[in-house]
Chains A and B, each alone.
Chain A
Amino acid sequence: MSAITPNYGYLRGSREIDNTVDTPGHRAALVLGNKTFHDVTEAIANVAERPTTNGWRVGFALSLALLGMLGVTLTYLVSTGIGVWGNNQPVAWAFGIINFVFWVGIGHAGTLISAILFLFRQNWRTSINRFAEAMTIFAVMCAGLFPLIHVGRPWLAYWLFPIPNQMSMWPQFRSPLLWDVFAVSTYATVSILFWYCGMIPDLATLRDRAKSKLGQALYGIFSLGWTGSSRHWVRYERMYLLLAALATPLVLSVHSVVAFDFAVSQLPGWHTTIFPPYFVAGAVFGGFAMVLCLAIPARAYLGLRDFITMRHLENMAKIMLATGLIVGYAYATEFWTAWYSKDHYEQSLFLFRLTGPYAWAVWTMLFCNVVAPQFLWIKRIRTNAWTLWLVALFANIGMWFERFVIIVTSLNRDFLPSSWHIYWPTWVDICMLAGSFGLFFTCFMLFLRFLPVVAIAEVKAVMPQAHAHGGHDGAKPSKEDHSDYWPEEGLSYAQHKAGQKK
């Protein structure tokens, strides 16, 4: 087996295995530690099977406390009215929509990893896709909550859907706000399908290993009687490919539609065609930052360092750097357009952003989203879990402030100075934002406790021994069969190095 995993060294000053080097002619291994299929099952199923740890209890209790706070503030909000928020005229959107765009943006990384990286055959996605998909679903749940309560009378939220009603009226299909209803609900549905369908074979693994009656029954029901039949696998894989192909344009459309909410209006700072691609890039940037923020502690805590390796973290860091540059470019374009347009309102708005009472938020955003990711050019920072986590945290903060800047600075000053009004959030706003993290982390902690956190079957399928070595129908393996599944045989990393010296 030594031929399959090169002899990696350790990263300087850490226990982290350095698999971030590329040797020409030798694919980097996706799973470290010369694992057998059974080792993979053990390592991942163990996360859901081991007794509840105190660390988990503490994390869950904290999340639950925040969720409780959300419950209390929600009750207060609904029973009193949205006057308890800091929203005013003209800043009618404020935290409700900032949080919505923030959370729905975070949701994008999950589908990007599961669908787009799947179509591009980025096999390293298999270790992190389950994780990221779960994050997507919980983030979309948090996102869905805010517009729902932002409508003011959430018990009438069904008016958003084209359901025949006593007023015999229909929602306005020309409005991007209604497009959003369809885009976000489609996105939530497809994300759940993708996540659940991907999990069926792994739920069957847990079913077959479950000791308790309850575990057998629940995993048994949700794994639908999966037997690993090849006839099933063939259709299943086709379905997975089709879902990926469908989810790819979907994920790009969702944040574009969210961007239309702004871009279609006439307001300075919003009325710009760059918004859809800029929002999508920002969503991917923020989403990957969130995946890193969660994955770095989780892999250490759950003992999954051999699956979510430094190479995975580094790949995500690179995507963050790339999308961070796109975001920085979009900011520059916005300012340039404001100047070049010679539009009085546009120009004064961007000047107001840099110098007005919200300038601190704008500079926070610029530092977190433009300056901080530049540190990822340095390999030592990119391959150190601590510094990488810090940069990802900055990106998350920066992306929240980006939405704050877009919504609040643009709304509080429109065309008529008589209607200008400064906005500040109230304690209810802040508690609900913190509470939404409670909802997110409560779901996430439950996911870490009871479900397969890494796609077991998919990881096995990208391991070298998953391939029949006889080639198709006994033929010698051809060059095109060489893939990540099948590193070149016979040479260890050390041997390869030795060969180069000669």
Chain B
Amino acid sequence: MTTELETIPDATIDEQDQAPQLVGLMAEYKDVDSAVQAARVVRDRGFKVWDLHSPFPIHGIDKAMGLRATYLPWIVLIGGLFGMASGIALQVWTMSIDYPFLASGKPLNSFPAWVPIIFELTILCSSLAAVAGMLLLNRLPMLYNPLFNKPRFRRVTDDRFFIVIGADDEKFDEIETMRLLESTGALLVDKVED
């Protein structure tokens, strides 16, 4: 491959970069029923790099697409434990180790009085972990997406449903996959290019 590339003049490489590359195929559906039925077909064909885009979360879509449960709750648990530990460490260290200061004859380590702040920090850190974890797992923010080149795709946040199969899926074949999508009752099947 390298030798071939070296023989191509620079200009041609640029042109190749600019030429639209097929990223995937996009099928449009008009309602939840047909989109979910199509998702089951695509799932059963064993595709891996694909997705169903919808204006709202569809109930039971995880089963229809064969998605695994997210491990987001574990991230939140870690965030919560971190918050709890930092709440305990902060108060025990500042009040009874770093600057021991007797207030109203209360013990230096007045643990019951630490509880509210431990609680608040637990909630704070788990909430931040939940949001950060969701964004991270979803690879957001991602402000550019080849799908945004398609004017039709704008209706995905309105009333249309789209199944997109990625070209880098092992089972992807431009003609075959297009036929498959057409057979699922799509309104339209289109190429997504970048």
Q: How far is the CB of B172 from chain A (nearest CB, A)?
A: 18
- Nearest residue (CB) in B for A264 is B113
A201 touches B157 (CB 8 A): yes
A485 to B73, CA, bound (A): 26
B124 interface hit (Cβ, 8 Å): yes
Interface mask (A31-44 → B, CB under 8 Å = 1, otherwise 0): 00000111001000
- Nearest residue (CB) in A for B98 is A170
A370 interface hit (Cβ, 8 Å): no
Task: State whether A457 and B135 are in contact (beta carbons under 8 Å apart), knowing that A224-B140, A466-B32 are contacts in the complex.
Answer: no
A236 touches B138 (CB 8 A): yes
Residues of A within 8 A of B63 (CB): 472-473
A151 to B137, CA, bound (A): 42
Which one of A173, A197, A209 has the greatest number of beta carbons of chain B within 10 Å? A173
Contact among A208, A247, A468 with B60 in the assembled complex (CB-CB below 8 Å):
A468
B70 touches A234 (CB 8 A): yes
Q: How far is the CB of B135 from chain A (nearest CB, A)?
A: 7
Interface mask (A461-474 → B, CB under 8 Å = 1, otherwise 0): 10001111110111
**SS class, residues of chain B in contact with chain A:** helix
Interface mask (A215-235 → B, CB under 8 Å = 1, otherwise 0): 000001100111111111111
A169 to B103, CA, bound (A): 14
Interface mask (B74-108 → A, CB under 8 Å = 1, otherwise 0): 00100000000000001100110011000110100
Q: Which of A219-264 contact B (CB under 8 A)?
A: 220-221, 224-239, 242-243, 246-247, 249-250, 253, 257, 260
A16 interface hit (Cβ, 8 Å): no
A474 to B41, CA, bound (A): 12
**SS class, residues of chain A in contact with chain B:** helix
Interface mask (A176-205 → B, CB under 8 Å = 1, otherwise 0): 101100110010011001000100010011
A174 to B114, CA, bound (A): 7
Interface mask (B148-172 → A, CB under 8 Å = 1, otherwise 0): 0000011111110000000000000
- Nearest residue (CB) in A for B67 is A234
Task: State whether A230 and B157 are in contact (beta carbons under 8 Å apart), knowing that A186-B120, A221-B143, A470-B37 are contacts in the complex.
Answer: no
Contact among B32, B94, B133, B157 with A467 in the assembled complex (CB-CB below 8 Å):
B32
A237 to B70, CA, bound (A): 11
B128 touches A253 (CB 8 A): no
B142 interface hit (Cβ, 8 Å): yes
Which one of A36, A234, A247 has the greatest number of beta carbons of chain B within 10 Å? A234
A242 touches B157 (CB 8 A): no
B45 interface hit (Cβ, 8 Å): no
B72 touches A461 (CB 8 A): no
B119 touches A253 (CB 8 A): yes
A190 touches B127 (CB 8 A): yes
- Nearest residue (CB) in B for A205 is B157
Q: How far is the CB of B182 from chain A (nearest CB, A)?
A: 20
Residues of B within 8 A of A220 (CB): 143
- Nearest residue (CB) in A for B34 is A468
A426 interface hit (Cβ, 8 Å): no
B51 touches A229 (CB 8 A): yes
Residues of A within 8 A of B158 (CB): 37-38, 41, 205, 208-209
Residues of B within 8 A of A189 (CB): 124, 127-128
Closest 3 CB pairs of A and B: A224-B141, A37-B159, A208-B154
9 contacts between A and B (CB under 8 A): A37-B55, A162-B90, A170-B95, A178-B117, A197-B131, A208-B155, A234-B70, A239-B133, A457-B56
Residues of A within 8 A of B (CB): 36-38, 41, 162, 168-170, 172-174, 176, 178-179, 182-183, 186, 189-190, 193, 197, 201, 204-205, 207-209, 220-221, 224-239, 242-243, 246-247, 249-250, 253, 257, 260, 456-458, 460-461, 465-470, 472-474, 485
